[in-house]
Structure 1
């Protein structure tokens, strides 16, 4: 098994996320934070207002700092610390941060598009982490894929990875793991963003090489 790279940016994001959760948990503010800092599609659509809430355009990011419980954040950060460090070793810290942020917004956008009237807050870093996972799958997948018709091998591989991830997330959603409703399309949105950004961010890092 390869040695886990250092990944300072990944580690920083994980520490900040864990610190925010435990502060809210200890203070008993998780429910309030979900409402005021979670991503609520109906707020984006202008259908509801939440007094004292985080500005709606920032909620895709603030939602990544709020989790439903220990199992929720534990699974998210375990996955993120592992794949994030490997991805950071390839594209660098700055690009990893961009990937994470864009993933959070892509996840929120697709989640909103599926039900713009929903008043249920979406919380957790799963969407942003899905973007990191998408890049990891593309960089470290060992299978070589041949092209099909007009599609290049790269395009076929992207479609296969996206389809596989969508299938896995659908299974998780049907199982409703731990009784928590999973925002399937948020995971999909983040993952697709990771697939789309992986190669451009890699080229950006080595643009002067």
Structure 2
């Protein structure tokens, strides 16, 4: 076979530009915060971190930096802040395989919008489960969880990045996704969900709430981001729905062997 007939394949571990930019943004923001005086550093957490108490309408409500504007932007900006290097490192580590595939599939604009939407989903879940809490929540884990949830919609399809038969990175990221209900019947997806929920509930790896009593894990925000990513994936997916019907044979297409 003529080698010229086979175009060079892009390595699966090569990072797409959108993901590189996202990781670079997290790193630059963290570096700037580290260089700030302690008081100013914590002020940035109060200004950009997600604080459930900020939405308290009782007589015990407190003023926070940013006013009404912060009540809006902190639903997203909290996800760009991290407590320390291990915190940001864990998030990037989880994001590399799943975020890379998602960024290739969505493109830059869809990818950044998706990360913002899943951050909002995580903040909403945290607000519902931590009403009136004063400790700020920071970390990209809700968005990372959303990226993982979206990726499993196509990750196990033949030719994708978690299958045993796959092409180059771009091809692996663009295989037709499974419909949601079919994906939730896939034993591999079910196994992934079981492990993911177990890890997050038991160990709570990821988003951290920074308060006077120390750091605690906001695992409910992970679940909120994950649910948003799983349910909203189709709204962002650029692969035409018509192509998805050919991803796997449906039960009606299989021969009856009874």
TM, length-normalised to structure 1: 0.81
Q: Where do 5+ consecutive residues of structure 1 fail to align?
A: 145-150
CA contact (8 A) 2:50 2:138 kept: yes
Corresponding residue to 1:74 among 89, 101, 121: 89
CA contact (8 A) 1:61 1:101 kept: yes
**Which deviates more from structure 2 when the two are superposed, residues 122-131 or residues 155-164?**
155-164
- Return closer, same or farther for 1:132/1:85 CA change in 2, 3 Å cut-off: same
**Which deviates more from structure 2 when the two are superposed, residues 71-80 or residues 151-160?**
151-160
Corresponding residue to 1:65 among 67, 77, 80: 80
Corresponding residue to 1:38 among 42, 49, 70: 49
Q: Where do 5+ consecutive residues of structure 2 fail to align?
A: 1-10, 164-179, 209-213, 244-258
CA contact (8 A) 1:107 1:185 kept: yes
- Return closer, same or farther for 1:155/1:137 CA change in 2, 3 Å cut-off: closer
CA-atom RMSD in angstroms: 2.9
- Return closer, same or farther for 1:105/1:197 CA change in 2, 3 Å cut-off: same
TM, length-normalised to structure 2: 0.67
Deviation per residue, 1:40-97 (Å, 9 max, x gap): 0111233332134661110022212221111111111232233211111222222211
User: Which structure 1 residue ranges, 4+ long, deviate > 4 Å from structure 2?
Assistant: 157-163
Displacement of 1:160 in angstroms is: 5.9
Corresponding residue to 1:10 among 15, 19, 35: 19
CA contact (8 A) 2:49 2:78 kept: yes
Matched, 1:91 2:106: yes
Bigger fraction of residues in helix: 1
Distance in 2 between the 1:159 and 1:38 partners? 33
Distance in 1 between the 2:81 and 2:114 partners? 19
